[in-house]
Structure 1
Amino acid sequence: MADAVIPASVLRSLADKLYEKRKNAALEVEGVVKQLALAGDHDKISAVINLLTTEFTYSPQANHRKGGLIGLAAVTVGLTSEAAQHLE
């Protein structure tokens, strides 16, 4: 489900070895999450968080982990005051 929300090219860029590509991908993730937050679609936001956690931050590859962390930070920035809703 989150794959449909976040384009595949952005997910590839999150796993790139270059910091600049990961940073630009995180900015796109932030924009998507802002739009979802404005629309009130918290199920899709949770799916994005789960995707970043399972596919990226738990990865054995260092660049995937780095991309997952910067992606989760972008999600938090995109949520602004609604971030507490998604913390476990």
Structure 2
Amino acid sequence: MEPPYAPLSESCAKALGDKVYEKRKLASQEIEKMVTEFNHKNNSGQIRKLIEVLSNDYATSRDANRRKGALIGLAATGLGLGKDSDKYVNELVTPILNCLSDPDLRVRYFACESLY
């Protein structure tokens, strides 16, 4: 059976929702490497699955730290895709735009930062 946050590892999924920024940052670096590898192998299915996990399980979470994790993870996904990010622009940007109206100030801040 596949882990619930696949293709994320369990440790990456946990760190992505951590209250400590540095742990979320490390998880995002793992995501960037993973996406770069998927992209080189033309594995768009895994890339879309990862974006779906970030968008559905993290960006809409009740926990603000998980929402912040979604934003840094989506930004890392865009970085990992490089010039191919245009193929996924709608999937990447929509959850970020939704977070711009989040009640939590820090989530809104990270939403702005993730678009940079």
TM-score computed with the length of structure 2 as normaliser? 0.72
Extract unaligned runs of 5+ from structure 2: 91-116
1:51-66 matched pairs, under 5 angstroms: 51-66=53-68
1:80 aligned onto 2:98: no
How far 1:6 moved relative to its partner?
1.5
Tell me, in whole angstroms, the C-alpha distance in 2 between the residues paired with 1:15 and 1:4. 15
Aligned residues: 88
Match 1:49 to one of 47, 51, 60: 51
- The letter for the 2-side match of 1:84 is D
SS at match of 2:82: helix
- Once superposed, which parts of structure 1, at least 4 consecutive aligned residues long, lie more than 2 Å away? 1-5
SS at match of 2:5: helix
CA RMSD after TM alignment? 1.3
Tell me, in whole angstroms, the C-alpha distance in 2 between the residues paired with 1:79 and 1:39. 12
Work out whether residues 54 and 73 of structure 2, in 8 Å CA contact, stay in contact via their aligned partners in 1: yes
Tell me, in whole angstroms, the C-alpha distance in 2 between the residues paired with 1:56 and 1:5. 14
1:1-88 matched pairs, under 5 angstroms: 3-88=5-90
Tell me, in whole angstroms, the C-alpha distance in 2 between the residues paired with 1:47 and 1:57. 14
Extract unaligned runs of 5+ from structure 1: none
